[in-house]
Structure 1
Amino acid sequence: MKVHVYIATTQGLVAVQRIHQLDPEISSVVSINGTSSIASISSAYHNFVKKGAGIIEADFGGQSYRVNIDAQIDQGNSWQLGLYLAHAAHARGILGDGKPQTGDLLICATGEVNTSDRKVMAVDQVPLKLDKANAFIEQLTPSVNLQFLLPETNYAAVITKHPQYKLVNVRSLDDALACLPAQAASMVMEPSQSGAALNSTTNIATNKWLVLAGLVLIIVLAGFVWSRVNQQEFVAAQPVQPQQRSQSVNSVITDGPTNTLAANDVAARLVLTYSNMGNCDGQKLKQTTLLAKGGRFAPSRLQNVCSMRLSIAKHDSSVIAINLHSHKIIRLAKDNEEFVVPIPANSANYIVLAFSSPLSTEEYTEIWSFLFNLPDDLVLDADKIAAISALKERDYLIFNHQLH
C-alpha cells in the first residue's frame, strides 16, 4: 500500500509526486512535474527543511531535498502540513506518486506548522479549498481510502457543512502522523554507502575444497563470536523510582566497567530480518533474535536489514526511540503486540525508552523540544537524558542498540 499526499489549495489539490535527498550544499527546492520550473514556495520550503528554523532535517535527517509536485503553489504556508506528512511517508518507504491504485491511502491536508511546539495552526479559505477538491475526490473509486486533515479551528468551522469528506481534526504533528498506517514504519530505507562498505563480500576462490574449508571456518568463528556476545556483562535497566532514574540511565549509555544483574533483566527481544540479496520483497529472509542483556542489545549490521521488531514485557504502553548523535526522536508504532523500529539510512547508535503508561502528546512534545534545541555536535549522554523533565516522574525502561 502507498500513501499519496495532496496539498489542498484554493486552485485545487496539488499532488506530491516524489521526494529526493540532495547533497547538503544544495538548497532545498520544490519543482513542478520534475522539470526545471520552480514553485514559488521553494525558498520557504528551504527554511522549512533547515534545522533551526525548520523541522524536516530535525525529524527525518538529510539537510537538503528536492520535492516534485504536479502544480504550482503560489504563496502562504498552508502547504507545510502536507509536505511534512509527505516526508514522513517518504522516510518510511511508502510515499506514492499521486496516482493512487486500489487499496492505497490518500491524505489531503492544509495547515501551517509551528516548528517550535509542533502544533498545527489554522489557515485561510478552507471552505474554498474543500470545494475545489470536490471534483477530484468524486472521481475516486470506493476502494481508495481518503482522509482530509484540517487544523482544529478550521475543522470546527466546516465539519457540519461537508459531510461527504472524511475530515480529521489535527491539533499537532502527532495527530497527523497517527493517520499514517501503523505498519508503515517497518518499510526499509536504502542502506548507506558506509554500511555497504562494512559488509562488502570478499571474493572466494573457485576451488571447491577451499570453499568448504572457508565455510567451516566461518561457522566456527560465528559460534565463537556468538558465545562471546552472550558472555558480556552489562548493568540491568530496571523500572526505577524518580530519585534513582539518573543512575539507571547512566548505566545503560556508558561503556565503562559494569556489574551483572542478569536475574533482574527485563524480558525484551529485538527481531531483525535480513535479505542476502538486498531484496526485502523476496521470500528468503533470515531472522536474527537479540535478547536484552542489562539494557543493551548486541550491535547489529545495517546492510540488507529489512525490518526490526521490538517486544518488551509489561512496559509496552508507549515506546520512543532517540538517536544519540542526531537527536532524532520517533514514537514507535505497535503492530501485533510488537513495536516496529524504523530502519535508519545510516549507521546509528540509539536508545529506546519504554513506558508503563501511555505517553501524552504534551510529554512527547516536551521531549522533542528539549532534543530539538540541543547543539548539533552534542552527543547525548546520561546527564542530558536525565535532565528531560518529562522523564523525571516517569516509570520507564531504557535499552541501547547500535547499527553499523
Structure 2
Amino acid sequence: MWNYKIFDILLFIASLIVGLSFAPLEVDLTKFLIVISIFLVFSAVYSNITIQHGNGGGTFDYGISYSLSFILFAGPFGLLIFEFFHRFNVYFQRKYTKTADADEFTDTLYNIGSFVLYNTVGFIIFFTVLPYAQTIPFGYFLLFFAVTLINRLQASGLMAFAFYLSGNIKSWSEVVTLFFKKITLFDIGKVSITNALLYYFVMESQWEMLIGLFLLNYVVSKSFVSNQEKVQNELERDRFREMAYTDFMTGLSNRAMMDKQMDEINGTDEVLGIVVADIDKFKQINDNYNHAVGDRVIQHFAEVLKAHTTKEDCVFRSGGEEFTIFLRGRNYVECLDFLKSVSTHVNAHPAEVEFDGKETFIDYSASFGLYFNKMTEELPMERAYIYADQLLLEAKEQGRNRHVVKNGERSAAYA
C-alpha cells in the first residue's frame, strides 16, 4: 500500500538532486522573476480547469503543461523552483477548499518530481539537437513536437508505474489503454506549439504577446472543458433515460416506454397492428425448474420477437411473461404472417437453458392477441391495447398456443 507513496517521495528527491545539480540560475534574475510570476499566475488559473486522471490510488495532472518552455528558459534548477511553488500553491488551494485527496501531499511530490525529471531529459535533447534542427525548414517547431512527444511518453510511463505500485492496474493491456492510447497527435501538437511560442516570446521579452498567448490558451481550454462537460451531461442524461425505459433482463423497452409510445401515436391516424403476447403455462416452468430457467425462457422469447420485427416496429416487455408489439408500416395480412412466423419459430426452437448443472432444452408455446386498426382520436391507443389484451385472453381460453385477431370489426382465431 505504501509502495507508490515511497515512489512519489523518491521521485521528488531525485528531482531535487537533478535540479540542484544545475544550480545556480544562468539567467538574469529580474527577467526570471518576471517570467516565473507570469507563469505562476496563469498556471494557477489554468489548474482550475486542468483535466485530471485518477484511478483511486492517486490523482495526476493530465492536461497541457507549460513546463517545457520554462525549463528551456531557466534550466532544470529554474523549473524545480517553478514546479515547487506552483504545485504547493495548488496543494494549499485544494486543502483550503476541502477538495484535496487523501494522498494530496504525496501526489504533489510526484508532480514536482516527474515534471522536473522528464522535462530535464527534454531539455538535454532540445539543446543537443537544436543546432541541427535550425538547418531545416520548420526545424524549430518540429523539434518542439519531438521533445513534447518524448516527454509525454515519459510521463505516461511514470504514471503507469505509479498506478501499478498503487495496485490500480494489473496488466500491460490496462497500461496501454489508460495511458498510451490517450496520446494523440492533436494533443502533442497543441502542447508543442504553445510551448514553442511561449519560449520564443520569453526569449524576446515580448511580454504582451506572452500574456496574450496565455489568455488565448485559457479561453480555448475553458471552452473545451465546458463542451466536454456538456457532452458528458448529455451522455449521462441519455444513459439515465435509457435506464428508465429499458427492461434489463431482455434488453427490450419497458412498460414506461410503451406508455410513452402510445401517447405519441394517439390521434395520428396511423394504421397499426397491436399484438399482446404471453408465454403459455409459464408458472409451471418456474415450478418444475426454477426462476433462473424461467428468466432464460423469457429472454429466449424476447430474442425471437426481436429477430422477427423490423426497426419500425416497437417491442416491449409489458410485464412478467407478457410482451406487447406495435407492428408499424404493415397491412393486416403482413401482421398475420408475423404471428404465424413467430409461433412456428417458438414451437420449433425450444429454449436452451442450464438446469441442475446440465444444458437442457425447454419446450414452450405462446398465445397472441392482435388488434389491427387506424389509431384515430375516436380510437385511442389505450383502448386499442385493451382490445388486443382481450383477444389474448380469448386465445388462452381457446386452448393456448394460438392467436386470436381482429381487423376492425372482424375477428378470427388461429391455432
> TM-score normalized by structure 1?
0.24
Looking at CA atoms only, which structure, 1 or 2, has the larger radius of gyration?
Answer: 2
Whichever structure has more helix as a proportion of its residues is: 2
